[in-house]
Structure formats: structure tokens, C-alpha cells
Amino acid sequence: MSAQPDEGRTASDAELLLEVEAVEAAYGEIHALRGIDLAVRRGQIVTLLGANGAGKTTTLKTISGLVRALSGRIRLAGRDITGLKAHEIARLGLVHVPEGRHILRGLTVEENLELGAFTVRDAATRRRRLREVYEQFPILGERRGQDGSLLSGGEQQMLAIGRALMQEPQILLLDEPSMGLAPKLVTETMGIIRRLNEGGTTILLVEQNARLALQLADYGYVLENGEIRLENSAEALRADRSIVEAYMGSG
């Protein structure tokens, strides 16, 4: 890691919840991650920025176990999770909401949500969480019997997040939650993320829209060609002209 930068406005000495150390990953010949180091403390929102193809999605997939790390270490709350299977990692409370939302087509909104709580044995707990999600996203309650893949983009994003909440995550990995949404819905999505964080969920957020992400986040990393090019508090990154020019065109 680079020299000790400013650690952001909150949680600077909270427990390290997620630690990624020198992680490399590849798709066949394509060396997508060339040694990633990053850390997320409990209670923080940390954002991962970078151009298309920089390796943001691959970083999240490697953390959640969908892509195997070739080398390096990943720890969740101090426990080494490198090499665990994706479903085992999910059961530890690290929940990844993938790029493109991945609503299960042909299944109703409610079935999608209930599958989110697949690992919860107790039916009463499942029902309680379902109620909480419907309270938080009333539109999902109204559409509970409808095919989840037929919802609008914004509703699907809520469903994807709601489904993740059914797992009661310690940490949420969000991959471009604002992708394809109208500006008003982007703002709403950002509001939801802030609320979740205020409710105690730690968040690692990948965003194309760097301006928005840095408004929410405590801390940010900038990825380039599978490497962390720089990292700093969100405040400092917002003030950095070169970042603004390189990654905020779309904001």
C-alpha cells in the first residue's frame, strides 16, 4: 500500500472488515488483476473507481469467490476467506449484488426475495426480513406476485438490493447500481445506499459515476489496468483535479 493517507471522516479506527492483499486474478491469458490491495473498515462506504475494463467487476467477483484468486489473501473480519466457494462466502455475510442486477426471470418478486434468504432455515426469520424489505421498498410489496424480470430498471435495482438485504449482510458489494437508470432514480439509489450504511451496513461500491460515488463514500480507490493507481479519502479525491478530469466526465 502507498503511504499512510488520510482515512476519511468516519470509522477511521473501526475494525478492518474486509482486507484484500496483493490479489491477482486472470481469465485464461488475460491478467485482469495484477496485485490489488484494499481495505474496508466496518461502517464505511468505500468506492472503487476506474475506467471500463480496469478490473472493478473482477475485483468484486474475486472477493465474493466467483473468480478464483491466483495469489494474495482476502480476509473478512479477520478470517481468511481466500479460496472459499462463493456460496460459503455469501453465508458469512459478504453479499455481492452483481453488475446488471441478475433478477431471476420467471420467478416472482417474492420468490426472488425468498431465495435471497435461502440460507435462513427459520421461516419466521425469513418472513420478518421479507416484511422489512417491503417496508423499505413498498413498490416491491405491490409487485410481489409479478415476474421480477418484468419490473422497470429502477424497480429491479431495488429488488436486487432487497434480495441482498434478505441475507442480512455485514458488507454489501455493489457493482454499478446506477447503471442504466434515469438521473432521478440514480439519486434515489444513492439515497438508498446512504440509508443502508446509516443502518449499519458496510459498503464497497463500484461506480462509473465517480462524482456521485465520492459524495457518498468515506474512502476511494482508483483502479487502472488491474492495479490500484491511487487511494485517498473521498474528500481528497474530490479535490484532485486529475481524478475529476479522468473519471468524472459522465457525472
Of the residues 41, 96, 129, 143, which one makes contact with another protein according to CB under 8 A: 96
Residue whose cell numbers read 472503487: 48
**Minimum distance from CB of 90 to Mg ion (Å)?**
19
**Minimum distance from CB of 216 to ligand ATP (Å)?**
18
Q: Which pairing describes strands 202-206 and 45-50: parallel, antiparallel, or unpaired?
A: parallel
Q: Which is nearer to another protein, 171 or 234 (CB)?
A: 171
- Cα 188 to the center of its chain, rounded Å: 16
Q: Which of 69, 119, 64 is nearest to 96 (CA)?
A: 64
77 binds another protein (CB under 8 A): no
195 binds another protein (CB under 8 A): no
86 binds another protein (CB under 8 A): yes
* Residues 95, 101, 103, 105, CA torsion sign: negative
User: How far, in Å, CA of 137 to CA of 158, rounded?
Assistant: 7
User: How far, in Å, CA of 148 to CA of 109, rounded?
Assistant: 5
Of the residues 5, 43, 53, 98, which one makes contact with another protein according to CB under 8 A: 98
127 binds another protein (CB under 8 A): no
Q: Which three cell numbers stand for residue 148?
A: 421480477
Of the residues 3, 4, 13, 52, which one makes contact with ligand ATP according to CB under 6 A: 52
The residues that touch Mg ion, with contacts defined as CB under 5 A, are 57, 99
